[in-house]
């Protein structure tokens, strides 16, 4: 069964690459608001110039090729190696590295093997990577989904993520159009337009993602609501499948996810409920119900970071890119399931995101307990911490630091 899943994910990722797609991410904490704004393009010190022939790259992964999140990072590494002409012996990969002391040991081993730059792809790796960065000052360290690089003061420590909330929003538009289609056909009423969301952990990264997804759906289906349940695991196929079933039993007419396996789409397929996936194209496991997936392409970052080492140029302390730079996308729309006109609407929304005329977290589009976010920041001490993120009418997600910071439950969304 594991090999079957592997093949499915490899095929899915292949499709994703040809369409500029990628995957998800891990981690994120409950509150990633920064101690001191750093900016997403803050440069560290320049790096001594090297050469592509001499470079050695190391990376530790939380999972393996069987999990969409890690599979996407692996594809990003392959894109980097191909584009920079690195041979296979110049890239050392370690899979199934936990968020514990074993992460430090794995990172140190890569540094001692001569890696010029070491990557880590899970939130819980960050503290161990910072410890290693303090000890190996001539090695560059880059951590996905973290938030401590700038505040650490270490010139060889870097954070990276993507503006995946943009592709979450677009995939939400696809979901909202499907709900409208179901309402128009009399399959559900407007009041029954409820979505279910299988979340990994109640962290800012997950909250940011499902909020963006909900706002995308709401932009075209104003009556939509959403129930979120957590598995408290990044990759647990059984738990994700069971949570999806529970959400459907609770009245969800459409399912989405921020979890790494095909558990939720499989449950949706069995129940004949439309589903929006994450990381990879889910039509291989849910051909009759999968609409699309929000995806990330990690290739641009890995290529940028390793090329910086080769060229001897500084690496940004925080890096986060979106549609404009090809770092996020959605997988091909399943035309046999999606509502008529979805592709045209998606093209319109993506163009607006690229042009900067559409802001995902436009504060005029949502409330929190009946108040606007600006009102809460001005009147409630619990929200004052978001003041650095909110201006010009929107929440500047991943612009202050690369890691998501939007950890607010807005009206229309319930957690269980």
Contact predicate 140/156, CB 8 Å: yes
Would you call 308 exposed, middle or buried from its count of C-beta atoms within 10 A (0-12, 13-18, 19+)?
buried
pLDDT tens digits along 359-416: 999 999 999 999 999 999 999 999 999 999 999 999 999 988 898 999 999 999 999 8
Q: Are strands 254-258 and 275-278 parallel, antiparallel or unpaired?
A: parallel
- Report which DSSP code applies to 315: P
pLDDT at 36: 33
Contact predicate 294/164, CB 8 Å: yes
Give me the helices (H) in 161-289, please.
164-184, 204-220, 237-249, 263-271
pTM recorded for the entire structure: 0.86
Residue 246 CA to residue 335 CA, distance in Å, equals 27
Which domains, ranges and CATH numbers included, belong to the chain? 57-163+299-321 (3.40.50.2300), 164-296+326-415 (3.40.50.2300)
Contact predicate 149/318, CB 8 Å: yes
Closest CA to 373 of 408, 398, 399: 408
Residue 86 CA to residue 218 CA, distance in Å, equals 45
Contact predicate 163/323, CB 8 Å: yes
Query: Which residues touch 107 (CB under 8 Å, ≥6 apart)?
Result: 58, 60, 118, 120, 125, 128, 129, 132, 141
Mean pLDDT over each residue of the chain, to the nearest integer = 89
pLDDT at 46: 64
Query: Which residues touch 343 (CB under 8 Å, ≥6 apart)?
Result: 333, 335
pLDDT at 68: 83
Residues of the chain with pLDDT under 50: 1-39
Contact predicate 284/331, CB 8 Å: no
Contact predicate 226/210, CB 8 Å: yes
pLDDT at 203: 87
DSSP bridge pairs for 294: 278, 330
- The structure tokens listed for 202 are 């109640």
Contact predicate 390/375, CB 8 Å: no
- The structure tokens listed for 339 are 């509502």
pLDDT at 22: 29
Contact predicate 149/158, CB 8 Å: yes
E-only strand ranges, 15-166: 57-60, 91-94, 117-120, 140-144, 157-162
pLDDT tens digits along 262-290: 999 999 999 999 999 998 899 999 999 99
């Amino acid at each position: 069964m594991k090999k079957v899943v592997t093949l499915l994910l490899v095929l899915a990722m292949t499709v994703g690459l040809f369409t500029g797609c990628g995957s998800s991410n891990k981690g994120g904490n409950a509150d990633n608001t920064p101690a001191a704004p750093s900016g997403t393009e803050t440069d560290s010190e320049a790096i001594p110039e090297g050469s592509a022939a001499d470079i050695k790259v190391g990376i530790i992964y939380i999972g393996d090729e069987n999990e969409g999140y890690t599979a996407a990072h692996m594809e990003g590494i392959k894109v980097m190696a191909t584009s920079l002409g690195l041979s296979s012996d110049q890239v050392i990969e370690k899979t199934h590295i936990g968020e514990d002391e074993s992460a430090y040991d794995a990172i140190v081993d890569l540094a001692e093997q001569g890696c010029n730059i070491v990557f880590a792809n899970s939130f819980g790796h960050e503290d161990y990577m910072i410890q290693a960065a303090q000890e190996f000052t001539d090695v560059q360290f880059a951590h996905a989904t973290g938030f401590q690089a700038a505040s650490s003061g270490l010139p060889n420590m870097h954070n990276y993520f993507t503006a995946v909330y943009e592709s979450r929003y677009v995939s939400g538009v696809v979901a909202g159009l499907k709900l409208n289609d179901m309402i128009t056909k009399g399959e559900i009423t407007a009041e029954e337009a409820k979505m279910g969301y299988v979340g990994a952990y109640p962290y800012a990264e997950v909250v940011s993602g499902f909020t963006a997804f909900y706002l995308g759906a709401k932009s075209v289906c104003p009556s939509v609501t959403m129930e979120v349940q957590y598995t408290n695991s990044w990759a647990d196929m059984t738990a994700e499948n069971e949570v999806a079933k529970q959400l459907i039993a609770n009245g969800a007419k459409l399912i989405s996810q921020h979890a790494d396996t095909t558990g939720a789409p499989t449950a949706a397929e069995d129940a004949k409920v439309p589903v929006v996936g994450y990381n990879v194209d889910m039509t291989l496991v849910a051909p009759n119900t999968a609409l699309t997936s929000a995806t990330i392409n990690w290739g641009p970052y890995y290529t940028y970071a390793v090329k910086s080492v080769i060229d001897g140029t500084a690496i940004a302390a925080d890096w986060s890119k979106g549609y404009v730079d090809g770092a996020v996308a959605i997988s091909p729309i399943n035309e046999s399931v999606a509502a008529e006109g979805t592709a045209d609407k998606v093209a319109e929304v993506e163009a607006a995101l690229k042009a900067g005329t559409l802001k995902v977290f436009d504060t005029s589009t949502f409330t929190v307990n009946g108040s606007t976010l600006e009102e809460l920041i001005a009147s409630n001490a619990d929200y004052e911490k978001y003041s650095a993120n909110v201006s010009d009418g929107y929440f500047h997600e991943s612009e202050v630091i690369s890691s998501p910071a939007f950890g607010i439950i807005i009206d229309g969304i319930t957690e269980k």
